[in-house]
Chains A and B, each alone.
Chain A
Amino acid sequence: MSEHGSHSAHHHAAHEKETKSPEKHKKHVETESPEREHAAERARAAGREAGFPVGKLLIMLLLIAVILAAGYAGILFYEQYTVIKAEHDAVIDAANAELDAAMAEYDVANPDSEAHIAERKAVSEEILREAKNEMSRMEQDMGALDQTIADAESRIREMESQEEFKYYMSIYDQYEQGRDYVEELLSDD
């Protein structure tokens, strides 16, 4: 085909310079189309032999892969975006809260502000009230404690006035004296 083609192209270029006729050109193209048909037919024949459109399938798969990759990348980017946005929002909220707190503190600290005066007064009153409550609670506790002590003392008096107690107590005293006596004997040597 190359021998014939190059010769034909040479011939055609020379011819065209002379005539510049579109028809001749067209005719020349027409003379080439049967060759192409032959090639296509050969390809179709090859495809029929394989029984499967491999090229088409590969292209489809590639397309699907590209779409999926694009979708996935989109999701990733979106997620990244929402995270960053939430972080920014939180930082801004925190900063706002800090600002509010600082302003409130300033209101209290500012000796000229109404809030400060009211606050101080309220605090003083609150402290006094709390202290008075605490005091009366402690006094109540003290009263209860006094009562408990008095009960214990009378319990002891009652127990110790019993004959049986006096009996045990005198044995106890004897043993205690005996112990001290022997202790003395032990330390004499």
Chain B
Amino acid sequence: MLKSFFRTTNTVLLIVAILAVGFLGYMFYMSVCFPSAKYDEKLASIEAMTEQTRQNTAAAERETAERLEQLHADLRNVGPEGIAIADSFEQLRAETEEKNAQLAELEAQIARDEDMQGTVEAMRKEYALKIRKLEEKIQSGESEVRICYWTLDDGPTYITSNFLDALDAMDNVHVTFFAANMANDSPNEEEMLRREMTSGHSVQNHSYAHVTNGDGPVYRSAESFREQIELQDAWLYEVTGFHPGIFRFPGGSAWGRSFVPTAPSVIEELGYQWVDWNCNLYDAGAPEKLPSSSLEITRAMTQISEKKIAMILGHDWNVNTLVAMREAIPQLQEKGYVFLPLFQESVTMGEATKAV
């Protein structure tokens, strides 16, 4: 009785052990060998389908081209009617090609026209990079050309149009207007700014309010300083369609930085450059102290002649400056100076002009 009980138990245990080992083996196969084989298979099948699809596409394209080729070849064997059709086919094909080329050109033009701001900016960049290259050649002594960046601050004013007339009368003479909205009242300032642009001059940022006191809106605080640049930028963008990119401190950088020491980093944060000058016409005095043109010209000419690259500070509202400019430019041209506009991309004089 006891003996038979043990025998039964042993048999059951043996069966259970066999089942367990079998189950373990099955699990091992399912978890290690089987899934990886399955996924490899799936991946391979997807890759094969992709490759097949590509081949089908290529084959379909070839077939279409071949079908047309064949059709044209067959046509010529069908008789006179076929030959006539084949001929007109050739003609149509050539015409279509020509028109497609024409259309591509027109579409490129539309793209340019639709983004005129971008198109103009791209051209300005090309222009500015050439100026930069010229500056580099001058500074390294490779070029005998001299550059004069004539700047006129505080406009537009009631005499801006006179400046523009004078400049228009000279070939290849371009200047830079540092405009400040509230510096001077002018009934047609927006028209003047646009005329400055269309005459090929540069229009840049001289703050919105143009107040030089330490407690005024420009230099009261770093926040106020930033706001002044932004306000002027927005106004110039609205009027001219372009963001300027170069700032000039009202009163100069030394003056401005004495109130707002962080000004340079504020300017940098706005994506701007800034410049001072290295030649001063001293034409910003009070009206009763306005310099006589001839004296100032003599002084300026001496100053300018020492520079390979001169940055002249003048003012858009001073009649003497207008007279001096008209006289000085031809003389400077004789000495090898060219008159170019300042652009953000070509401001490479850096601290050299900023410090003067």
The residues of A that contact B198 with a CB separation of less than 8 Å are 167, 170-171, 174
Q: Assess the A134–B99 pair: CB atoms within 8 A.
A: no
Alpha-carbon distance between A75 and B145 when the two chains are bound, in angstroms:
103
Instruction: Name A149's contact: one of B88, B93, B102, B199 (CB within 8 Å).
Output: B102
Tell me if A185 is interfacial: C-beta within 8 Å of chain B. yes
Residues of A within 8 A of B103 (CB): 145, 148-149, 152
Q: Does B49 count as interface, using CB distance less than 8 angstroms?
A: no
Does B82 sit within 8 A of A, measured CB to CB?
Answer: yes
CB-CB contacts below 8 Å: B125-161 with A: 126-127, 130-131, 133-134, 137, 142-145
Question: Interface-forming stretch among A56-64, A65-73, A135-143?
Answer: A135-143
B1 beta carbon closer than 8 Å to chain A:
no
Given contacts A127-B71, A178-B127, A145 and B100 within 8 Å (CB-CB): yes
CA distance A140 to B264 in the complex (A): 64
What CA separation (Å) do A13 and B202 show in the bound complex? 153
Which residues on A sit within 8 Å (CB–CB) of B134? Answer: 182, 185-186
Q: What residues of chain A lie closer than 8 Å to B75, measured between beta carbons? A: 127-128, 131
Report if B300 contacts A (CB, 8 A): no
**B86 / chain A contacts, CB cutoff of 8 Å:** 131
**Which among B28-36, B111-119, B212-220 touches the partner chain?**
B111-119
CA distance A142 to B119 in the complex (A): 31
Task: Using known A-B contacts A132-B85, A178-B340, determine if residue A149 contacts B106 with beta carbons closer than 8 Å.
Answer: yes
List which A160-186 residues lie within 8 A (CB) of chain B.
160, 164-165, 167-172, 174-179, 181-183, 185-186
Q: Which residues on the B side are within 8 Å of A127 (C-beta)? A: 71, 74-75, 78, 82
Which of chain B's residues have a CB closer than 8 A to the CB of A168? 116-117, 119-120, 241
The answer to whether B113 touches A176 (Cβ under 8 A) is: no
Selected from A132, A155, A178, the residue in CB contact (under 8 A) with B341 is A178
**Is there contact, CB below 8 Å, between B131 and A167?**
no
**Interface size bracket, B side:** 35 or more
Residue A40 CB within 8 A of the other chain: no
Query: Chain B's nearest CB lies how many Å from the CB of A133?
Result: 10
Q: How many Å from the CB of A94 to the closest CB on chain B?
A: 25
Chain B residue numbers with a CB within 8 Å of A100 are none
Q: Contact at B78–A124, with CB atoms within 8 Å?
A: yes
Query: What is the CB-to-nearest-CB distance from B179 to chain A, in angstroms, rounded to a whole number?
Result: 16
Chain A contacts for B199, CB-based, 8 A: 174
Output the least CB separation between B271 and chain A (Å). 20
B85 touches A128 (CB 8 A): yes
Specify the chain A residue showing the minimal Cβ separation from B99: A145
Taking CB atoms, residues of chain B closer than 8 Å to A149 are 99, 102-103, 106
Interchain CB contact under 8 A, B100 and A131? no
B123 touches which of A139, A156, A172 (Cβ 8 Å): A172
Residue B92 at the chain A interface, CB threshold 8 Å: yes
Question: Who on chain A is nearest to B197 by CB?
Answer: A171
Contact in complex: A171, B131 (CB < 8 Å)? no
Query: In whole angstroms, what is the CA distance A182 to B133 when docked?
Result: 9
Q: Decide: A135 near B88, CB < 8 A? Known: A156-B109, A185-B145.
A: yes
Q: Is the CB of A169 within 8 A of B116?
A: yes
B119 pairs with A172, CB closer than 8 A: yes
**Per-residue interface assignment for chain B, residues 75 to 110, with 1 indicating a CB less than 8 Å from any chain A CB and 0 otherwise:** 100110110011011001101100110110011011
Instruction: Take A131-B85, A142-B92 as given contacts and tell me if A160 and B113 are in contact as well, using a CB distance cutoff of 8 Å.
Output: yes
Partner of A135, one of B79, B85, B116, B341: B85
Q: Which residues of A contact B (CB under 8 A)?
A: 123-124, 127-128, 130-132, 134-135, 138-139, 141-142, 145-146, 148-149, 152-153, 155-156, 159-160, 164-165, 167-172, 174-179, 181-183, 185-186, 188-189
7 pairs, CB–CB < 8 Å, chain A vs chain B? A145-B99, A167-B194, A181-B172, A182-B127, A182-B130, A183-B130, A186-B143
Instruction: List 19 additional A-B contacts (Cβ < 8 Å) besides A123-B74, A189-B144.
Output: A127-B75, A128-B75, A131-B75, A134-B71, A135-B88, A149-B99, A156-B109, A159-B114, A165-B116, A168-B119, A168-B241, A177-B200, A179-B127, A182-B340, A183-B130, A185-B338, A186-B133, A189-B143, A189-B145
